[in-house]
């Protein structure tokens, strides 16, 4: 045995000793490079989630001094039969639906518009992208100022300024309360902020469409409408889908913007699910058990959509 | 019969061979389109112009109705943002007047005096901004460091379940902040990390880590392996190769990742709101609660927002090549 090993190392000095050492050190380096990251992520995500899974079956309150008491699925049962929660879910659903749909349309439109290069188009494109890089809570605040019924610019821009009757964030026109204005104004800001995101993705899709497809279509005298439906749209679809999924996830989680703009008000008209959760978990009674259960329900919804998103992302990556 | 010189193109066609791109109709359409784009961009930037204007308005100008488009610019907003002030007692007015006449007043002091106030000290916002800088800076350095190492490992080594690991890493980014914060809040309180810089730094590091790993992996994937293989054959160790060959080539990638992480940490609101109260609170959760004696101090809020916005705008321009990569976690490269 010993002689064989010795022989091979004599015959092939590079592949034996050094190669083995390198293999080992590769493995060691890999572990060294990856584990700090994994440990941190597990400690700050997995572990807390297990803890809150446990809490969600208890009646624990962070402000009380009593230890958590196991109450089974009572929290979940309470949540799923609580009308105020369903209201928050409905509001969130409406918010996600309208804001993502509008962003898609506006973003797509912007991309189609900006597609042709002209002098200074790079500068303009970047300027349009600025809103999405801003802090949502700061955006919420300065839009709050824009919407102010007395000195805000918004009412003047839409021609409602002189009367001073329209109060977007209070959902009121004069003395009349109109349901939905406040939510619409939050949606408007979200669309303002995130349409550029859709635009950015669509634009990269548009730029990747090979010219010869359009040339062939032009030779066949295809109408521009036909070209749009049969070339542009299908080619851009994968990226558009990614944009829509990503925005759906983000809109579901939407918190900062609403906090800056309305804080959930007036009443609970703009109380999205994340804001509701924040209120039960951190304000007033600190109902940790109950809010953990609610958090889990939201978590499951978000994970389901994220799964779709990441799968699509991987598909695009495979192609590109 | 018209000759070719009359009907043919006057200049050689160099832009495109496509008929629909060089016809006069297409050219005017293009010009109109460019104008529409510029107009749309201007409309989209209105809120930012408004903020810019408000930051330099005096208190009566801010709440003028209808809003003033033209006004006398002042730095009052910044004064309110950075200082605590008190109204000068009538008895002491002469003393201040004398000081002002003697030219012994600093710029801010003078500004305060003009509105009948004296500065009593720096405002809480100064501390909050410092906290923001510390937390964003340290957490970014940590997440880029760890993200670069892990990104390299994921790019170059094969391991069982690599795709699942990467999926797990990205999925942590998708979790809603409020959901993770409930158990973390209880843990932090127990460990004494609540309202500390360290606690927030750790949280932001983790928050940005998944992003940094994905982005860096994308950048490393683009560097040809041949360089490293050549270096390995030449007798470099894996670590030497990484330090001397790979890292220098990924400088722009690391820079882009750093800047993205900085922006995210700089803008972050939800964690800071729930995990801090006084000592470690950063700027974003404190801008909304900036109240003056006459209700909400809008010019101070605008000034604070403006200071927050300027670095972000500069960075957006510096990063425009990488924006797409950044927002898709490095998956789409253009």
CATH of the domain at B217: 1.10.3720.10
β-partners of residue B87 are B117
**Residue B301 falls inside a structural domain:** no
pLDDT(B276) > 50: yes
pLDDT(B2) > 80: no
pLDDT(A262) > 60: yes
Taking CA–CA distances from B321, the nearest residue in chain A reads A126
Assess contact for A311 and A245: CB atoms under 8 A. Answer: no
Quick check: B334 and A135 CB within 8 A?
Answer: no
With cut-offs at 50, 70 and 90, classify the pLDDT of residue A4. very low
- Classify residue A300 by its DSSP letter: H
**Residue B322 falls inside a structural domain:** no
* Closest chain A C-alpha to B131 CA, distance in angstroms: 16
Higher local confidence (pLDDT), B261 or B90: B261
With cut-offs at 50, 70 and 90, classify the pLDDT of residue B115. confident
- Structural domain including B27 reads 4-44
Residues B80 and B36 in one domain: no
Kindly report which listed range (A114-128, A223-237, B38-52) carries the lowest average pLDDT score.
A114-128
Q: Which residue is listed with tokens 């008929």?
A: B19
- pLDDT of amino acid B143: 95
> What is the SS3 assignment for A176?
strand
Quick check: B184 and A48 CB within 8 A?
Answer: yes
Residues B131 and B159 in one domain: yes
% helix, strand, coil for chain B, step of 5: 70, 5, 25
Kindly report which listed range (A132-146, A147-161, B189-203, B236-250) carries the lowest average pLDDT score.
A147-161
Quick check: B34 and A118 CB within 8 A?
Answer: yes
Contacting B residues, span 273-292, partner chain A, CB-CB under 8 Å? 273-274, 284-285, 287-288
C-alpha to C-alpha distance for B313 and A251, rounded to whole angstroms: 23
- pLDDT of amino acid B302: 86
How many structural domains does chain B have?
A: 3
Contacts of B330 (CB under 8 A, 6+ apart): B214, B215, B216, B217, B218, B219
Quick check: B270 and A122 CB within 8 A?
Answer: no
Residues B145 and B87 in one domain: no
Residues B98 and B237 in one domain: no
- pLDDT of amino acid B15: 53
Quick check: B269 and A22 CB within 8 A?
Answer: no
Contacting A residues, span 159-178, partner chain B, CB-CB under 8 Å? 161-162, 164
Assess contact for A205 and A240: CB atoms under 8 A. Answer: yes
Kindly report which listed range (A146-155, A156-165, B144-153) carries the lowest average pLDDT score.
A156-165
- pLDDT of amino acid A284: 74
pLDDT(B80) > 60: yes
C-alpha to C-alpha distance for B195 and B140, rounded to whole angstroms: 19
pLDDT(B304) > 70: yes
- Classify residue B322 by its DSSP letter: T
C-alpha to C-alpha distance for B303 and B295, rounded to whole angstroms: 16
Residues B32 and B167 in one domain: no
C-alpha to C-alpha distance for A11 and A7, rounded to whole angstroms: 6
Kindly report which listed range (A78-82, A191-195, A206-210, B104-108) carries the lowest average pLDDT score.
B104-108
Chain A hits for B176, CB-CB cut-off 8 Å, are 252-253, 255, 274, 295, 298-299, 302
**Residue B303 falls inside a structural domain:** no
Quick check: B18 and A40 CB within 8 A?
Answer: no
Chain B hits for A55, CB-CB cut-off 8 Å, are 182-183, 186
pLDDT(A39) > 90: yes
Taking CA–CA distances from B60, the nearest residue in chain A reads A151
Q: How many angstroms separate the Cα of B27 from the Cα of each of A113, A123, B145, B250?
A: 14, 21, 50, 42
Higher local confidence (pLDDT), A48 or B144: B144
pLDDT(B13) > 80: no
Chain B hits for A135, CB-CB cut-off 8 Å, are 266-269, 284, 308, 312
**Residue B297 falls inside a structural domain:** no
Residues B144 and B86 in one domain: no
CB distance from B247 to chain A under 8 Å? Answer: no
- Which of B44, B139, B145, B182 to mutate to probe the A interface, most A CBs <10 Å? B182
pLDDT(A3) > 80: no
Taking CA–CA distances from A207, the nearest residue in chain B reads B334
Residues B206 and B112 in one domain: no
Residues B39 and B132 in one domain: no
pLDDT(A1) > 60: no
- Which of A33, A108, A274, A277 to mutate to probe the B interface, most B CBs <10 Å? A33
% of chain B exceeding 90 in pLDDT = 24
Chain B hits for A32, CB-CB cut-off 8 Å, are 149
β-partners of residue A176 are A173
- pLDDT of amino acid B57: 85
* Closest chain B C-alpha to A180 CA, distance in angstroms: 22
pLDDT(A19) > 60: no
Residues B118 and B132 in one domain: no
pLDDT(A16) > 70: no
% of chain A exceeding 90 in pLDDT = 22
**Residue B308 falls inside a structural domain:** no
β-partners of residue B291 are B296
Question: What is the separation, in whole angstroms, between the first and last Cα of chain A?
Answer: 51
Residue from the list A44, A114, A207 with its beta carbon closest to the beta carbon of B37: A114
Quick check: B206 and A116 CB within 8 A?
Answer: no
- Which of A151, A241, A286 to mutate to probe the B interface, most B CBs <10 Å? A151
Higher local confidence (pLDDT), A207 or A117: A207
Chain B hits for A288, CB-CB cut-off 8 Å, are 182, 186
Residues B159 and B272 in one domain: yes
Mean pLDDT of chain B: 83
- Which of A30, A112, A157 to mutate to probe the B interface, most B CBs <10 Å? A30
Nearest to A122 by CA among B287, B140, B122, B34: B34
Q: Provide the pairing of β-strand B291-292 with B117-122.
A: unpaired
Q: How many angstroms separate the Cα of A191 from the Cα of each of A195, A249, B39, B257?
A: 5, 15, 18, 26
- pLDDT of amino acid A90: 92
- Angle of helix B124-156 relative to helix A19-41, nearest 10 degrees? 140
pLDDT(B246) > 70: yes
- pLDDT of amino acid A107: 94
Over residues B271-297, mean pLDDT: 79
**Residue B310 falls inside a structural domain:** no
Q: How many angstroms separate the Cα of A90 from the Cα of each of A83, A191, A229, A270, A300?
A: 10, 19, 33, 10, 17
Assess contact for A189 and A143: CB atoms under 8 A. Answer: yes
Any alpha helices (H) in chain B, and if so which ranges?
Answer: 4-7, 19-22, 24-44, 46-55, 59-62, 76-82, 93-101, 107-114, 124-156, 162-174, 177-191, 197-222, 225-233, 238-241, 247-249, 251-267, 270-275, 283-286, 298-318, 323-327
Quick check: B37 and A292 CB within 8 A?
Answer: no
Higher local confidence (pLDDT), A9 or A123: A123
Assess contact for B124 and B96: CB atoms under 8 A. Answer: no
Assess contact for B236 and A71: CB atoms under 8 A. Answer: no
pLDDT(B332) > 80: no
pLDDT(B293) > 80: no
Quick check: B183 and A292 CB within 8 A?
Answer: yes
Q: Is there a cis peptide before residue B60, judged by omega within 30 degrees of 0? A: no
- pLDDT of amino acid A14: 46
Nearest to A139 by CA among A186, A184, A91: A186
Q: Which residue is listed with tokens 């297990």?
A: A50
- Which of B179, B194, B329 to mutate to probe the A interface, most A CBs <10 Å? B179
Kindly report which listed range (A75-89, A229-243, B10-24) carries the lowest average pLDDT score.
B10-24
Quick check: A295 and B182 CB within 8 A?
Answer: yes
Residues B187 and B218 in one domain: yes
CB distance from A96 to chain B under 8 Å? Answer: no
**Residue B192 falls inside a structural domain:** yes
> What is the SS3 assignment for B269?
coil
pLDDT(B215) > 70: yes
Q: How remote is the C-alpha of A181 from its chain's centroid? A: 23
Cα Rg of chain A (Å, integer): 27
β-partners of residue A180 are none
Mean pLDDT of chain A: 83
pLDDT(B318) > 70: yes
Kindly report which listed range (A13-22, A193-202, A248-257, B189-198) carries the lowest average pLDDT score.
A13-22
Kindly report which listed range (A241-250, B169-178, B196-205, B275-284) carries the lowest average pLDDT score.
B169-178
With cut-offs at 50, 70 and 90, classify the pLDDT of residue B272. very high
C-alpha to C-alpha distance for B135 and B266, rounded to whole angstroms: 8
**Residue B65 falls inside a structural domain:** no
Residues B148 and B259 in one domain: yes
């Amino acid at each position: 045995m010993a002689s064989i090993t010795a022989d091979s190392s004599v015959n092939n000095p590079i592949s034996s000793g050094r190669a083995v050492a390198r293999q080992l050190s590769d493995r060691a380096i890999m572990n060294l490079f990856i584990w700090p990251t994994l440990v941190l992520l597990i400690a700050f995500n997995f572990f807390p989630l297990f803890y809150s899974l446990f809490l969600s079956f208890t009646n624990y309150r962070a402000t009380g001094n009593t230890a958590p008491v196991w109450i089974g699925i009572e929290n979940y049962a309470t949540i799923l039969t609580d009308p105020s929660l369903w209201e928050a879910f409905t509001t969130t659903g409406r918010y996600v639906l309208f804001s993502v749909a509008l962003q898609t349309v506006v973003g797509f439109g912007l991309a189609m518009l900006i597609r042709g290069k002209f002098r200074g188009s790079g500068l303009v494109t970047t300027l349009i992208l600025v809103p999405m890089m801003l802090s949502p809570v700061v955006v919420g605040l300065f839009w709050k100022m824009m919407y102010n019924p007395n000195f805000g610019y918004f009412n003047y821009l839409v021609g409602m300024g002189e009367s001073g009757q329209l109060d977007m964030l209070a959902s009121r026109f004069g003395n009349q309360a109109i349901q939905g204005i406040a939510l619409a104004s939050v949606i408007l800001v979200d669309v303002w902020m995130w349409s550029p995101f859709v635009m950015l993705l669509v634009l990269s899709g548009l730029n990747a469409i090979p010219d010869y497809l359009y040339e062939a279509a032009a030779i066949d005298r295809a109408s521009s409408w036909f070209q749009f439906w049969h070339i542009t749209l299908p080619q851009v679809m994968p990226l558009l889908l990614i944009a829509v999924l990503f925005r759906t996830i983000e809109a579901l989680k939407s918190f900062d913007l609403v906090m800056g703009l309305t804080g959930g008000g007036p009443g609970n008209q703009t109380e999205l699910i994340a804001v509701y959760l924040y209120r039960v978990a951190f304000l007033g009674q600190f109902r940790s058990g109950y809010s953990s259960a609610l958090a889990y329900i939201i978590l499951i919804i978000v994970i389901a959509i994220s799964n779709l998103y990441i799968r699509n992302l991987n598909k695009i990556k495979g192609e590109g | 019969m018209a000759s070719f010189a009359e009907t043919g193109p006057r200049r050689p066609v160099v832009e495109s061979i496509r008929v629909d791109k060089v016809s006069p109709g297409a050219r005017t359409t293009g010009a109109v389109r460019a104008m529409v784009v510029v107009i749309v961009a201007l409309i989209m930037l209105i809120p930012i112009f408004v903020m810019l204007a408000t930051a330099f308005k005096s208190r009566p100008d801010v709440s003028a109705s209808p809003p003033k488009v033209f006004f006398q610019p002042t730095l009052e907003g910044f004064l309110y943002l950075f200082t605590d002030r008190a109204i000068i007692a009538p008895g002491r007015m002469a003393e201040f007047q004398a000081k002002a006449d003697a030219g012994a007043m600093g710029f801010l002091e003078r500004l305060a005096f003009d509105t009948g106030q004296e500065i009593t000290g720096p405002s809480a916002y100064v501390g909050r901004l410092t906290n923001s800088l510390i937390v964003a800076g340290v957490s970014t350095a940590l997440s880029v460091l760890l993200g670069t190492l892990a990104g390299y490992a994921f790019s170059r080594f094969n391991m069982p379940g690599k795709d699942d690991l990467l999926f797990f890493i990205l999925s942590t980014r998708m979790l809603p902040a409020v959901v993770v914060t409930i158990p973390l809040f209880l843990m932090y309180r127990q460990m004494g990390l609540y309202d500390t810089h360290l606690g927030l730094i750790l949280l932001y590091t983790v928050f940005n880590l998944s992003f940094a790993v994905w982005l860096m992996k994308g950048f490393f994937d683009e560097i040809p392996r041949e360089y490293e293989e050549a270096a390995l054959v030449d007798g470099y160790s894996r670590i030497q190769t990484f330090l001397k060959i790979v890292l220098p080539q990924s400088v722009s990638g690391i820079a882009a990742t750093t800047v993205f992480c900085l922006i995210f940490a700089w803008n972050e609101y939800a964690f800071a709101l729930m995990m801090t109260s006084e000592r470690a609170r950063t700027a974003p959760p404190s801008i909304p609660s900036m109240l003056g004696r006459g209700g909400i101090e809008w010019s101070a809020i605008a000034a604070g927002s403006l200071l927050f916005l300027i670095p972000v705008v500069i960075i957006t321009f510096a990063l425009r090549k990488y924006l797409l990569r950044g927002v898709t976690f490095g998956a789409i490269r253009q």
